[in-house]
Amino acid sequence: MNTIYVINGPNLNLLGKRQPHIYGHETLEDVKNACIQVGLDNGLDVTFMQSNAEAQIIDWIHDARENATGIVINPAAFTHTSVAILDALNTFDHPIIEVHISNVHKREPFRHHSYVSGVASGVIAGFGTQGYVFAVQRMAQLLAAAATDRAS
């Protein structure tokens, strides 16, 4: 089974408690369980992680180079600031999908730019926590298509 990493950035540990009018009432544990289940339904083993530390996220991306065939990432605030996370993602040779719970384009101008989007296969924003489910489903399709390409 393909393993994918679902990586979450700062403050997402407070999901469900933090500004629920923006980020909703589901907790990160709820999102983790949904990702694992939709992964299993689609033949993917989901490793789900969250950190408030940029260095830890970079280390997980490096780890994914050896141990994962896809990354779903919500870098949270680091989306808008981190060249270091972009550089790490640029070392990863498999699909990357960027997720935002909120519609960042409807919010403050500093949230309109993402360092990550330029390296992502796709970007999902504004669908609430359901965006993670869409991302895992899409990742399964991308990995299946890549396997078919390799076989032909």
Q: Is 89 helix (H, G, I), strand (E, B) or coil?
A: helix
> Which C-beta is closer to ligand DHK: that of 66 or that of 108?
108
Whether 100 is a known active-site residue: answer yes
Whether 113 is a known active-site residue: answer no
> Which C-beta is closer to ligand DHK: that of 3 or that of 13?
13
Q: How far is the CB of 44 from ligand DHK (least distance, A)?
A: 21
Which residue, among 74, 62, 79, has the nearest Cα to 136 in the 3D structure? 74
Q: Which helix (H) or strand (E) holds 22?
A: helix 20-23
Q: Is 113 annotated as a binding residue?
A: no
Q: Is 97 annotated as a binding residue?
A: no
Which residue, among 97, 40, 56, has the nearest Cα to 32 in the 3D structure? 40
Please check whether residue 5 is in contact with residue 64, taking contact to mean a CB–CB distance below 8 angstroms. yes
Catalytic residue among 100, 105, 112, 113: 100
Q: Is 115 helix (H, G, I), strand (E, B) or coil?
A: coil
Q: How far is the CB of 139 from ligand DHK (least distance, A)?
A: 17
Work out the burial of residue 101: count CB atoms within 10 Å of its CB; fewer than 13 is exposed, 13-18 middle, 19 or more buried. buried
Cα distance between residue 127 and residue 148, in whole Å: 30
> Which C-beta is closer to ligand DHK: that of 99 or that of 119?
99
In the complex, which residues of this chain contact ligand DHK (CB under 6 A)? 11, 74, 76-77, 79, 100-102, 104, 111
Catalytic residue among 5, 23, 115, 132: 23
Q: How far is the CB of 45 from ligand DHK (least distance, A)?
A: 24
Q: Is 102 annotated as a binding residue?
A: yes
Annotated binding-site residue numbers for substrate: 74, 80, 87, 101-102, 111
Residues involved in catalysis = 23, 100
